[in-house]
């Protein structure tokens, strides 16, 4: 029995997660991102006030210990709240901001880090949604230009190519959204405008207009209806924006940034991902200040499997102003679901070694053990049946454990220095010399 919303991860799923994480780590490092770790436990005052009222409610807080616990006795809930000292990480962004401030004398900016760690949120558990789950973030903290956005698009492109997962990367810029709000005549109602527009993908234009109306935002939407882009290619879409927003002061930074990004992506176009300019994309409006991204898997209904963007103020809340950055995250759990649904995990990932050495004990057992040991030491995964038993029992064990090949040394094999290997799936059996290691494992790994 486990706490609500938590779960065990069994070998096959764990190995698939390791595959995802190792692949991402390798790619992050090619792009110059370095791994760090922060503790699961943070001071409550570090996390408190950063995630809104709901976040505060869903945060896992630690019970004070020892004498501090005794002191809670008889207090009201509010008074008890003031004695909370520690809580579990709620995301990786706030701890990273705290990290940059704490280690500012050791870090050279721009500092590129990636981090794959668990976070805890006492959300209502749903299918595929847990109270303890893994986040996977890559961020650059410090100065830089649009080349960083181009790199992050390349990183997404390469990662999803490695996973063979078809994706679309949607790109937008806060300043384009602001320019659109101004063009639509409501620059002072920016948040309502953007929050309504963000639903375009789901509810269509009629839905967006209804949403705006409900917010008492009355827009002559004809003035911005040209922004329905459909499948318009990235560069052509950008041209249309340049044309319609050329007079909007608020849009100028966005147009210039995306122009620069366009030049970089022209030089090094994505090879795998579809890129789309999506002016309805909003994401965390109180956090991102420049370019924003969102990635969706094509061919599965999963929602977003990644996203990110540029922000101006990472560390201000911890007393270090002027440090901005740009970053992306990968939704590991959802990517795993997508690969599973589309059968894209490599077949080589298995919850058992390919070969079980069976034996009848005595001299044959000792010989089988010796061979097993030599194979393992040369880096081959082999199981050895750990006691004397009937051959039938040993075959049953292989079968139940998902081991396909059975190695066997009996009396004949001892005399001839040979070894029989049986494919339990096809029934095909072959005899090898005991030292023909390469041939044996070519057969087993075929």
Q: Which of residues 296-355 bind a second copy (CB under 8 A)?
A: 351-353
Q: Does residue 103 belong to the site contacting a second copy (CB under 8 A)?
A: yes
Q: Does residue 427 belong to the site contacting a second copy (CB under 8 A)?
A: no
Q: Does residue 394 belong to the site contacting a second copy (CB under 8 A)?
A: no
Question: For residue 432, what are the β-bridge partners?
Answer: 419
Binding a second copy (rule: CB under 8 A), the pick from 47, 98, 278, 292 is 98
Binding a second copy (rule: CB under 8 A), the pick from 49, 54, 72, 128 is 72
d(CA 190, CA 151): 29
Binding a second copy (rule: CB under 8 A), the pick from 53, 73, 231, 427 is 73
Binding a second copy (rule: CB under 8 A), the pick from 171, 382, 419, 421 is 382
Output the CA–CA distances (angstroms, integers) from residue 386 to 356, 370, 375, 396, 401, in the order listed: 10, 13, 16, 14, 14
User: Nearest Cα to 17, choosing from 121, 168, 119, 118?
Assistant: 118
**Which residues 266-285 are close enough to bind a second copy by CB under 8 A?**
267-268
Phi/psi at 404 (5° precision): -90, -35
d(CA 188, CA 193): 9
Nearest approach in angstroms of CB 333 to a second copy is 13
What the block records as the tokens of 329 is 């995250």
Q: Does residue 166 belong to the site contacting a second copy (CB under 8 A)?
A: no
Contacts of 65 (CB under 8 A, 6+ apart): none
User: Nearest Cα to 117, choosing from 142, 96, 136?
Assistant: 136
Question: Is the backbone peptide bond immediately before 169 cis, with ω within 30 degrees of 0?
Answer: no
**Which residues 105-124 are close enough to bind a second copy by CB under 8 A?**
106, 108, 110, 112-113, 118, 120, 122
Nearer to a second copy, 247 or 396 (CB): 396
Binding a second copy (rule: CB under 8 A), the pick from 23, 25, 190, 229 is 25
**Which residues 198-237 are close enough to bind a second copy by CB under 8 A?**
none
Binding a second copy (rule: CB under 8 A), the pick from 203, 349, 381, 439 is 381
Binding a second copy (rule: CB under 8 A), the pick from 19, 31, 51, 443 is 31
From 82-90, 175-183, 246-254, 278-286, give the range in contact with a second copy by CB under 8 A.
Answer: 82-90
What the block records as the tokens of 43 is 């001071």
d(CA 271, CA 154): 9
Nearest approach in angstroms of CB 140 to a second copy is 7
Q: Does residue 85 belong to the site contacting a second copy (CB under 8 A)?
A: yes
Q: State the number of binding residues for a second copy (CB under 8 A).
A: 102
Q: Does residue 41 belong to the site contacting a second copy (CB under 8 A)?
A: yes
Contact 96, 38 (CB under 8 A): yes
Phi/psi at 234 (5° precision): -45, -55
């Amino acid at each position: 029995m486990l706490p609500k919303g938590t779960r065990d991860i069994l070998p096959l799923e764990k190995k698939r997660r390791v595959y995802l994480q190792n692949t991402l780590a390798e790619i992050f490092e090619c792009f110059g991102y370095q791994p760090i770790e922060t503790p699961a436990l943070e001071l409550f005052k570090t996390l408190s006030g950063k995630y809104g009222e709901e976040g505060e409610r869903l945060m896992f807080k630690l019970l004070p210990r020892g004498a501090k616990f005794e002191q809670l006795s008889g207090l009201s809930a509010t008074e008890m709240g003031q004695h909370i000292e520690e809580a579990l990480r709620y995301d990786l962004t706030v701890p990273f901001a705290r990290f940059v401030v704490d280690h500012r004398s050791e870090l050279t900016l721009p500092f590129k880090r990636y981090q794959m760690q668990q976070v805890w949120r006492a959300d209502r558990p749903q299918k595929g949604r847990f109270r303890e789950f893994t986040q996977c973030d890559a961020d650059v903290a410090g100065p830089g230009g649009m080349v960083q956005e181009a790199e992050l698009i390349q990183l997404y492109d390469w990662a999803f190519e490695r996973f063979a997962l078809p994706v679309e990367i949607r790109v937008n810029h806060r300043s384009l959204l602001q320019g659109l709000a101004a063009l639509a005549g409501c620059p002072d109602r920016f948040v309502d405008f953007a929050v309504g527009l963000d639903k375009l993908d789901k509810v269509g234009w009629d839905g967006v207009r209804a949403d705006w109306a409900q917010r008492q935002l009355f827009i002559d939407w004809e003035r911005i209806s040209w922004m329905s882009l459909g499948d318009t290619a990235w560069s052509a879409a950008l041209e249309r924006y340049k044309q319609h927003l050329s007079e909007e002061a608020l849009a100028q930074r966005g147009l210039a940034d995306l122009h620069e990004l366009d030049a970089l992506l022209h030089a090094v176009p994505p090879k795998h991902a579809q890129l789309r300019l999506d002016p309805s994309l909003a994401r965390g409006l109180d956090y991102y200040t420049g370019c924003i991204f969102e990635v969706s898997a094509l061919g599965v209904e999963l929602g977003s499997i990644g996203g990110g963007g540029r922000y101006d103020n990472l560390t201000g809340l911890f007393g270090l102003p002027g440090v901005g950055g740009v970053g992306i995250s990968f939704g590991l759990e959802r990517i795993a679901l997508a690969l599973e649904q589309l059968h894209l995990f490599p077949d080589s990932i298995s919850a058992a070694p390919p070969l079980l050495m069976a034996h009848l004990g005595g001299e044959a057992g000792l010989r089988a053990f010796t061979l097993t040991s030599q194979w393992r030491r040369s880096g081959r995964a082999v199981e050895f049946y750990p006691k004397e038993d009937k051959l039938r029992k040993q075959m049953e064990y292989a079968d139940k454990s998902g081991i396909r090949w059975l190695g066997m040394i009996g009396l004949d094999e001892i005399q001839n220095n040979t070894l029989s290997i049986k494919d339990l799936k096809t029934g095909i059996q072959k005899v090898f010399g005991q030292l023909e290691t390469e041939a044996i494992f070519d057969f087993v790994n075929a």
